[in-house]
Chain A
Amino acid sequence: MATQQSRSAARFMLAPAVILLLGWMLVPLIMTLWFSFRNYLPLRGGDLGWAGFDNYVRFIGSSSFWPSVQTTLIIVGGVLVITIVLGIILALLLDQPMWGQGIVRILVIAPFFVMPTVSALVWKNMFMDPVNGLFAHIWKFFGATPVEWLSQASMQSLIMIVSWQWLPFATLILLTAVQSLDSEQLEAAEMDGAPFHSRFIYMILPHLARAITIVVLIQTIFLLSIFAEIFVTTGGAFGTRTLSYLIFQRVLESQNIGLGSAGGVYAIILANIVAIFLMRIVGKNLD
């Protein structure tokens, strides 16, 4: 890719993809910005003209705005901590030679292939149902009162469901990183008298830093916008209303597209703030 000709050819060939991606991103973004300044109520007269910054002021002034931001961050943070800690443990275990390794690895990855809606429903009905759920039966077996998971411990339940879905992803990425660690390095550390926990802190963890960074960044992107799991379990009740769920409610339940779009712009701002923080904290691992 050095000559003038090959460079211009490359630009020419890249153009369709770049234009398509730009269009894909820019059109919805501009529409969201446009609607956020309009007074648009589909069932109450349609587009009623300019609204100025009214939508922005109303959205941020609502009593549910700050709790929803907090809920979003708690879910993202909680799931990240759980998936990374358990992911590292699982990756180290799966790296050990054992009988049936192939099947075990496929089983570990399996939850990632289950659709979010389905897995949330399975958790809700099979495990967490206070009457028929598996947990209820276990609680009853030990003579305890079954927990009403989704109402009494709604956030914990939600974080558990989402972590279950994302754990395979974290495990997979971390496992490949663990496998790429030079075994002579670990042997050298062993000869140097480092017990397992020292080898973990001084050899394995620094080696995994880059993989952990990737897991954190990718998961954050997807976790900021989780929706299906909330929709089918709590429906936003019991303090599980995230920012994206609040936007959904404003647009579809209140039928106020202008207000929802303003919320969408706040969501973009929140995502960028989180991204800046993350890049500050973990981004140096990527160079």
Chain B
Amino acid sequence: MGHIQLKQVKKSFGDVTVIPPLDLEINDGEFVVFVGPSGCGKSTLLRLIAGLEDTTAGNIEIDGKDATGLPPAKRGLAMVFQSYALYPHMSVRKNIAFPMKMAGMPKEEQDKRIAAAAKALNLTDYLDRRPGQLSGGQRQRVAIGRAIVREPAAFLFDEPLSNLDAALRVGMRMEISELHTKLATTMIYVTHDQVEAMTMADKIVVLQAGVIEQVGSPLELYRAPRNKFVAGFIGSPKMNLIEGAEAAKHNAHTIGIRPEHIDVSTTEGLWQGTVGVAEHLGSDTFMHIHGVPGCDPLTVRAGGEVGVKHGDTVWLTPNLTHLHKFDAQGLRIE
């Protein structure tokens, strides 16, 4: 079980309100990602759920029971920290055993669970090493191992992959997703990386300055961002936001068009521009186009290899079925 409900939860540090009253429901078995720029309050929100911070007002309910005043240990949640927070003077085995030892679990049961976790996480050969002797990815897996042996109601991840190199991050992303499918336990995952959010989440919660901007599945957010902030945050490269005369033609203050929804031609099109930096990735080509009124530079994605270089003139045609319109307040117009 792992149903978590936040009701009018508020957090202030002194006079500074980090999170204004906020409601959120996380269903059992869901993989929820809190995403937002740094300083948006996503880690604070996670720590409120974990019980490492006290709420200023409001209630947190876990499985229908009020947990607002409960200490972290009594909430039945397990957390994986950004720095992994492994105990450096204990072996991997003792690290993983620690929460069970604190719970006073019988030794045989502990050994059984350690063996199972080590097998699932590929740690069997490292059980007698110290955290200092492990690589970043292995430490990450030990931290996850320490969390899963408790069989918690929900897992909390606080930017767990930000200390890993790019290749390892992709691998761990898959491992965590697979773990979620296998365990079917609620997971709450905090990240500032929208790629992690898009690839892993069942439900994304986009936060800005402590306020929930939008909640939805990755593709809902991609297809219909509720406002300009979400539009700019979800999707890579970022959506192009065009203001002025071009937007007025569509009866909007701002129009948004994703780089992958623009066709590039060297002969004809709606907008004319000059190619600035062109990033050739082989599978894709990202071009920064200068000279389009209302948006400079405009980013365009073309599939495969495109024979353009710096200084070339190109014509662009947006795919109008994927056009997003926003009003002066930055809210979506349907």
Nearest-neighbour CB distance to chain B for A39, whole angstroms, equals 56
Stretch at the interface among B22-30, B96-104, B120-128, B210-218: B96-104
CB-CB under 8 A from B85, the residues of chain A are 182, 184-185, 187-188
Interface membership of chain B positions 68-85, coded 1 if the CB is closer than 8 angstroms to chain A and 0 otherwise: 000111000111011101
A191 at the interface (CB under 8 A from B): yes
Contact yes or no, A194 B98, CB < 8 A? yes
A203 adjacent to chain B (CB < 8 Å): yes
Q: Does B87 contact A (CB under 8 A)?
A: yes
A-B contact pairs, 16 of them (CB 8 A): A184-B81, A184-B85, A185-B85, A185-B87, A188-B87, A190-B52, A190-B72, A191-B73, A191-B79, A192-B73, A192-B98, A192-B99, A193-B102, A194-B98, A194-B102, A202-B98
Confirm or deny: A117 has a beta carbon within 8 angstroms of a beta carbon on chain B.
Answer: no
For the complex, is B144 an interface residue (Cβ under 8 Å from A)? no
Would you call A235 an interface residue if the criterion is a C-beta within 8 Å of the partner chain's C-beta atoms?
Answer: no
- List residues of A whose CB falls within 8 A of some B CB: 182, 184-185, 187-195, 198, 202-203, 206-207, 209
Given A190-B73, A191-B50, A192-B146, are A182 and B102 also a contact pair (CB < 8 Å)?
Answer: no
Across the interface, name the chain A residue whose C-beta is closest to B75.
Answer: A191
Interface residues of B in 79-138 (CB under 8 A from A): 79, 81-83, 85-87, 89-90, 98-99, 102-103
Shortest Cβ gap from A210 to chain B (Å): 11
Q: Which residues of B contact A202 (CB under 8 A)?
A: 87, 90, 98
CB proximity of B106 to chain A, nearest CB, Å: 16
Q: Which chain A residues lie closer than 8 Å to B83 at the CB level?
A: 182, 184
B89 close to A188 (CB less than 8 A): no
Is there contact, CB below 8 Å, between B77 and A193?
no
Q: Name A206's contact: one of B50, B72, B89, B150 (CB within 8 Å).
A: B89
- Please give the distance in Å from B166's CB to the nearest CB on chain A: 24
CA distance A209 to B89 in the complex (A): 11
Q: Which of A188, A189, A198 has the most CB of B within 10 A?
A: A188
A214 to B31, CA, bound (A): 48
The answer for the CA separation of A209 and B88 in the assembled complex, in Å, is 13
A193 surroundings in chain B (CB, below 8 A): 73, 99, 102-103
Q: Are B102 and A191 in contact (CB under 8 A)?
A: no
| Chain A nearest Cβ from B84, distance in angstroms | 8
> Given that A193-B73, A202-B87 are contacting pairs, would A187 and B52 also be in contact in the complex, using a CB cutoff of 8 Å?
yes
A185 / chain B contacts, CB cutoff of 8 Å? 85-87
Residue of B78, B86, B87, B89 near A191 (CB, 8 A) is B78
What's the least CB distance linking A153 to chain B, in Å? 40
Note all chain A residues with C-beta closer than 8 A to B77: 191
| Interface magnitude class on chain B | 20 to 34
Among residues of B, the one whose C-beta sits closest to the C-beta of A209 is: B89
A184 to B89, CA, bound (A): 15
- Nearest neighbor of B156 in chain A, beta-carbon distance: A191
Report chain B residues within 8 Å CB of A206: 89
Q: A188-B86, A191-B73, A191-B99 are in contact. List 20 more A-B contacts (CB 8 A).
A: A182-B83, A182-B85, A184-B81, A184-B83, A184-B85, A185-B85, A187-B79, A188-B79, A188-B146, A191-B50, A191-B72, A192-B73, A192-B99, A193-B99, A193-B103, A194-B98, A195-B73, A206-B89, A207-B89, A209-B89
A195 cross-chain contacts in B, Cβ below 8 A: 73
A116 CB to nearest chain B CB (Å): 37
Alpha-carbon distance A191/B150, docked complex (angstroms): 11
CA of A184 to CA of B77, assembled, Å: 16
In the complex, A184→B86 CA distance in Å? Answer: 9
| Closest Cβ neighbor of B71 among chain A residues | A190
A152 CA / B137 CA spacing, docked (Å): 64
| Least Cβ–Cβ distance between A198 and chain B, in angstroms | 6
A93 to B86, CA, bound (A): 25
In the complex, the answer to whether A198 meets B102 with C-beta atoms within 8 Å is: yes
Closest A-chain residue to B82, C-beta based? Answer: A184
Give A198's nearest chain B residue, CB to CB.
Answer: B102
The 8 A-B residue pairs whose C-beta atoms are closest, nearest first, are A193-B73, A188-B85, A192-B99, A184-B85, A206-B89, A193-B102, A184-B81, A185-B85
- What is the CA–CA distance of A192 and B85 in the complex, to the nearest angstrom? 11
Task: List B contacts of A194 (CB < 8 A).
Answer: 73, 98, 102
**How far, in angstroms, from A182 to B50 measured CA to CA in the complex?**
18
Q: Please measure, in the bound complex, the distance between the C-alpha atom of A191 and the C-alpha atom of B52, giving whole angstroms.
A: 8
Min CB distance, B94 to chain A, in Å?
9
Bound-complex Cα distance A185 to B89 (A): 12
Q: How far is the CA of A12 from the CA of B287 in the complex (A)?
A: 61
Proximity string of chain B (186-199) to chain A, C-beta cutoff 8 Å, 1 when within and 0 when not: 00000000000000
Bound CA–CA A191/B75 (angstroms): 9
Q: Which residue of B lies closest to A188 (CB)?
A: B85
Complex Cα–Cα for A209 and B73 (A): 27
What distance in Å separates the Cβ of A112 from its nearest Cβ neighbour in chain B?
Answer: 30
